Amino acid sequence: MDYETMNMSNNMLGNGPNTGPSIGPSSTPKRKRTRIWPYLLTGLVGAIIGGLLTTAIVPSIIIGHIEGLQLSVPSSAGSWQTENPSSNIRSTNYVPSSDPWQVVVDAAEKVSPAVVGIVNTRSLYDIFGREYLRDTSGSGLIITSDGYIVTNNHVIAGDSRKITVFLADGRTMEAEIIGADPATDLAVIKIDGTGLPTAVFGDSDQLKPGQLAIAIGNPLGMEFNRSVTVGVISGLDRVLKVGDAYMRLIQTDAVINPGNSGGPLIDGDAQVIGLNSAKLNVEAVEGMGFAIPSNQVRRIVTEIMETGRVRRAFAGLSLMDRSEVRIYKPTVKIDRGIYVYDVVSGGPAAKAGVRQGDIVVEFAGHTINDVGTFVALISELSPGDNVKMKVLRGDQELEFTITLIEAPSEAR
């Protein structure tokens, strides 16, 4: 087949010269290539010029806005001070107006002059009966300008030969014991003085857990006198048995060490809210110190100063905890309160209408679930006080008003 015949066949198949591949001189001419360098050059020049303008102008605008801004903070929190005020670019440093612990500093400065050290020189005997002297130390608080001082009973207890008081101004004076009350672990001693610094008592009934608590005292003796420790009120109405008595105490995590006994526990207003008395000294337990509430301190101290002793209140009741009832009175059903197993004939409770078999559930406005709490509460009351008591009798809840009397000597 010659060339023309092959070409004809191609046309019949629809592959003519314009649609099929070009061969030889009849091929389509190549397109002319476009040049892009001018465009690239123009874009590059524009980017350079834009960058220069941004660098030169934008910072000036931003700085101008920054200079117009003012930082506002509460006046009580502090202030902002500017360094190099003549410079266009200013830097500021925050300067607090006061130390957040300043309230502690101020309270401690007010009360510390009234805190004293007490050294009790006691007479002791060895196993051979030979006498020797031993010094024990504690803390105290001046409560009158003429030298009355309150402290713990256990600080001045024992066969005391001499009690020495160390004042904040460096003087030492010998003190006499005015009176003591082992049931509340309180005592009053007296030095001869005038114009002595004193402390102000606050209202311990208004305390709340979490409130600031500051302890001041002489841990481990006079070498660390008037040490200040800080914490909070951890709990209220903690009833503990101290010796033979039950006491209702304030719990705090402010550090209280041996020698702090008798020193004040104060609040942020420099008011005495308690008298440091004890620390729970158990392995693996930390931050559990206890103080006698200031209202109780004030009442006991006033009575000691006036009469030299404390009169105990008496209701005329014999009581049992629920655990004892289950053992000794297994037929009695009791799921709350404490059980009255005896009422003194002719006593205050009997006169008010309380009977044997009643269950005491409330006394002096406090819920009662153990005998210790009842004893602690009545120890804070005085003969002649009228106190309300609620009891369960069968299905009834009854309320009585009991007029307390002075406890007989055998009941104290």
Contact between 244 and 139 (Cβ < 8 Å): no
pTM score, two decimals? Answer: 0.69
Residue among 312, 229, 310 nearest 276 (CA): 229
- Bridge partners (DSSP) listed for residue 248: 239
In a domain, 79, yes or no: no
Between 40 and 28, residue with greater pLDDT: 40
Query: For a pLDDT cut of 70, what percent of the chain falls above it?
Result: 73
Q: How high is the pLDDT of residue 39?
A: 60
Does residue 146 have a pLDDT over 60?
yes
Does residue 22 have a pLDDT over 50?
no
Q: Tell me the catalytic residues.
A: 154, 185, 261
- Bridge partners (DSSP) listed for residue 79: 95
Q: How high is the pLDDT of residue 360?
A: 96
Q: How high is the pLDDT of residue 56?
A: 54
**Kind and range of the H or E element at 248?**
strand 245-252
Give yes or no: residues 132 and 63 share one domain: no
From its phi and psi, is residue 281 left (phi > 0), alpha (psi between -120 and 50) or beta?
beta
**Average pLDDT, integer, range 366-393:** 92
**Average pLDDT, integer, range 8-16:** 41
Maximum C-alpha span of the chain: 153
The residue among 69, 87, 121 that closes a domain is 69
Give yes or no: residues 233 and 329 share one domain: no
Give yes or no: residues 300 and 217 share one domain: yes
Give yes or no: residues 255 and 125 share one domain: yes
Residues, the chain: 412
The residue among 251, 275, 307 that closes a domain is 307
Q: Identify the residue whose tokens are 């114009």.
A: 195
In whole angstroms, how large is the CA radius of gyration of the chain?
Answer: 44
From its phi and psi, is residue 378 left (phi > 0), alpha (psi between -120 and 50) or beta?
alpha
Q: Token pair for residue 103?
A: 């309230």
In a domain, 10, yes or no: no
**Average pLDDT, integer, range 354-367:** 94
Give yes or no: residues 322 and 303 share one domain: no
Q: What is the pLDDT of residues 199-212, one digit of tens each?
A: 999 999 899 999 99
Residue 111 banded pLDDT, cuts 50, 70, 90: very high
CB count in 10 Å sphere of residue 118:
27
Does residue 301 have a pLDDT over 90?
yes
Q: Which residues contact 161 (CB under 8 A, 6 or more apart)?
A: 121, 122, 123, 133
Residue among 409, 338, 341 nearest 377 (CA): 338
Q: How high is the pLDDT of residue 77?
A: 40
Between 124 and 28, residue with greater pLDDT: 124
Classify residue 34 by its DSSP letter.
Answer: P
Q: How high is the pLDDT of residue 65?
A: 47
Q: How far apart are CA 389 and CA 365, in angstroms?
A: 8
Q: How far apart are CA 142 and CA 191, in angstroms?
A: 10
In a domain, 8, yes or no: no
Q: How far apart are CA 213 and CA 228, in angstroms?
A: 10
Give yes or no: residues 258 and 135 share one domain: yes
Q: Token pair for residue 333?
A: 């059903």
**Domain residue limits at 52:** 37-69
Q: What is the pLDDT of residues 213-271, one digit of tens each?
A: 999 988 877 777 888 999 999 999 888 887 677 888 999 988 888 788 889 999 989 99
Q: How high is the pLDDT of residue 204?
A: 92
Query: Looking at the 3D structure of the chain, how many domains does it have?
Result: 3
Cβ neighbourhood burial of 239 (10 Å; 0-12, 13-18, 19+): middle
Give yes or no: residues 215 and 326 share one domain: no
Q: How high is the pLDDT of residue 2?
A: 42
Give yes or no: residues 277 and 157 share one domain: yes
In a domain, 317, yes or no: yes
Q: What is the pLDDT of residues 35-84, one digit of tens each?
A: 566 666 666 666 666 665 555 554 554 444 444 444 333 333 444 444 44
Between 71 and 367, residue with greater pLDDT: 367
Q: What is the pLDDT of residues 334-360, one digit of tens each?
A: 989 999 999 999 999 999 999 999 999
Q: Identify the residue whose tokens are 């007479």.
A: 123
Per the prediction, the chain carries an average pLDDT of: 79
Q: Identify the residue whose tokens are 């200079």.
A: 67
Q: What is the pLDDT of residues 169-192, one digit of tens each?
A: 889 999 999 999 888 889 999 999
Question: Any alpha helices (H) in 225-347, and if so which ranges?
Answer: 294-307, 322-328
Residue among 104, 80, 77, 107 nearest 91 (CA): 80
Q: Which three-class secondary structure state does DSSP give residue 191?
A: coil
Question: Any alpha helices (H) in 112-254, and if so which ranges?
Answer: 153-156
**Average pLDDT, integer, range 84-99:** 49
In a domain, 89, yes or no: no
Q: How far apart are CA 331 and CA 52, in angstroms?
A: 100
